[in-house]
Amino acid sequence: MDLLEVIQSHVLLSSVAFLVVTFFTLRFIRDSFKVDQLYRRHVLITGCDSGFGNLLARQLDAKGVPVIAGCLTEKGAEDLSASTSSRLKTVLLNVTDGVSIKKAVEFVRAEVGQRGLWGLVNNAGISIPIVSATLKKGKGRVVNVASILGRLSLTGGGYCISKYGVEAFSDSLRMNMEPFGLKVSIIEPGFFKTAVTNPKMIENDLERLWTRLPQNSRTPMAQHTKAQNFSLGILCSADLSKVTKCMEHALTAYYPRTRYGAGWDAKFFWIPLSYLPSFVSDFVVKILLPTPKSP
């Protein structure tokens, strides 16, 4: 008896299979509807010096979208301008500097005019000033980049807290902005090869924190660092387009999703793991990302 006969012989299995197929078929159809006139829809992307923001800026520019790319450094802005069309505009933006944010908002207002801003990709922690300035007018999209670490807390407690905060803020913003026609999506990438997951940077951070510990609390770091680098080497994907395709869909789909799990590890491992009992997820995480043993 083959699989098809087994399913047909069980009403429950047949019903479940029908519902699953129907769900994914309808979602595929729903996802396929796109907004029109992308050439008139300005999108502001923060954090465009490198990584996800840089790739998305080039990706949208190639499709005719007028992009305003926020870069931290002049070199980042110059390099991006050199690799894109004259349609893409860059603006220096330090999201930790209020003066820089104010100047960026004024620049965006001048660029978009009465039409308003269609999309904000929050890739570097800024939302409220831009939302109040132009997004309501454009009735567009906010795309906030969180992480699977906003679903499941692993190593790096402070970083996880910030991503949980992005999740909560985005949910609140979505509810508050819905009456204005503004849609908010959250991108939840798995592990990718970016500056955040650079083994050398992580090793330097661990070393810096380790030297602050009292002498009697220090444990050998070499074995822990080696194990963590090995795990990150396996887990991290080099294909950043898995994330930027989700961002693009959130900006251009007529019916954007509320959440996008970006990467196979996020969709089929980390997010499902976050729904399991804590003792199960803790056990799995300790295997993949071991912590130093007690002295």
Q: What is the set of active-site residues? A: 159
Question: Are 73 and 96 within 8 A, CB to CB?
Answer: no
- Whether the CB-CB separation of 18 and 42 falls below 8 Å is answered with no
Q: Which of 230, 233, 242 is nearest to 268 (CA)?
A: 242
Residue 191: which of 180, 182, 202, 183 has the closest Cα?
202
Q: Please tell me the distance from the alpha carbon of residue 85 to that of residue 122, in angstroms, as a whole number.
A: 22
- Single-letter amino acid code for the residue at 105: V
